[in-house]
């Protein structure tokens, strides 16, 4: 079996993180999983949701919004606002992003603050939700580093990093990090969210008009574990890069789109 882009079965697509692409946010990154590109930003507000105030819940909150820009797909995708409501897929994905990031944040150490994670898909080629979780964590880490550096946090609230990757069964073979042609034709599709300690946060998986064996599931989870380990290493490098002064993020952004 040969994959459409000739990768090995356990090989990620080319992954890149370009930090500081949205200067008005507290932290931002353009994350690319192959041809899937998502801008992830973290904006910190000194306030918490009304329900937390009403219930006198201590600490802060982390939440996410996700959208696919109209030109991110081959056929123009209408904006949610033009339909008057958020579509079910976008709602499910942004809830996933929020759950994944809250799993690695000590909300009490965050204080009375809300971290807004915005994930906007520039180009979709499979794996937009996994790229959003992975990039969203980088944007949040950058923002929290800066808040800590400014002396506004007594203790660092991020306990560890979190990342997500897809795995599936394509032409009867378990493979890692499905692109769109593979995702479209896969008989089984999994999305796996894990921490840097390789603990599971969430596993989403189903057969696409097909069934799968326990051996295939074990193989997909093993692939995901390998992929997340590699992503965590790349995340750490991106977070460190954002802390280096003098970087030209927009030149890097222009270079990325020439590839």
| CA geometry: angle 42, 111, 18, nearest 5 deg | 20
Confidence of residue 218 (pLDDT cuts 50, 70, 90): very high
Tally of domains in the chain: 1
**C-alpha–C-alpha distance, residues 101 and 162, integer Å:** 7
In a domain, 170, yes or no: yes
Tokens 């192959």 belong to 34
Q: What is the CATH number of the domain that holds 187?
A: 3.30.230.70
Q: Is 3 annotated as a binding residue?
A: no
Q: Is 128 annotated as a binding residue?
A: yes
Closest C-alpha to 241, from 11, 31, 5, 48: 31
In a domain, 221, yes or no: yes
Partnered with residue 174 across adjacent β-strands are 169
Q: Range of 41's domain?
A: 15-245
Q: Is 36 annotated as a binding residue?
A: no
List pLDDT tens digits, range 117-146.
999 999 999 999 999 999 999 999 999 999
pTM: 0.90
Q: Is 37 annotated as a binding residue?
A: no
Instruction: Evaluate if residue 247 carries a pLDDT over 70.
Output: no
List pLDDT tens digits, range 30-76.
999 999 999 999 999 999 999 999 999 999 999 999 998 877 877 77
State how far the alpha carbon of 137 is from the alpha carbons of 234, 235, 249, in Å: 12, 8, 18
Helix (H, G, I), strand (E, B) or coil at 229: helix
List pLDDT tens digits, range 83-110.
666 778 889 999 999 999 999 999 999 9
């Amino acid at each position: 079996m040969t994959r459409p882009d000739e990768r090995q079965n356990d090989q990620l697509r080319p992954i890149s993180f370009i930090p500081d692409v949205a200067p008005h946010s507290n932290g931002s990154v353009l994350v690319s999983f192959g041809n899937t590109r998502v801008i992830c930003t973290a904006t910190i507000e000194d306030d918490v949701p009304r329900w937390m105030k009403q219930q006198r819940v201590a600490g802060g909150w982390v939440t996410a919004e996700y959208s696919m820009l109209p030109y991110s797909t081959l056929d123009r995708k209408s904006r949610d606002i033009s339909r008057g409501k958020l579509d079910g897929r976008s709602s499910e994905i942004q809830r996933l992003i929020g759950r994944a990031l809250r799993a690695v944040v000590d909300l009490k150490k965050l204080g009375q603050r809300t971290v807004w994670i915005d994930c906007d898909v520039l180009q979709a080629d499979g794996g937009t939700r996994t790229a959003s979780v992975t990039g969203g964590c980088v944007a949040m880490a950058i923002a929290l580093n800066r808040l800590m550096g400014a002396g506004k946090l007594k203790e660092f609230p991020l306990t560890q990093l979190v990342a997500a990757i897809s795995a599936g069964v394509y032409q009867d073979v378990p493979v890692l990090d499905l692109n769109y042609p593979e995702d479209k034709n896969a008989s089984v599709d999994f999305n796996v969210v894990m921490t840097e300690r390789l603990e599971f946060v969430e596993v989403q998986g189903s057969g696409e008009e097909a069934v799968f064996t326990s051996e295939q599931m074990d193989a997909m989870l093993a692939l995901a574990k390998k992929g997340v380990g590699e992503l965590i290493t790349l995340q750490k490098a991106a977070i460190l890069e954002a802390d280096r002064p003098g970087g030209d993020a927009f030149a890097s952004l222009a270079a990325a789109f020439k590839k």
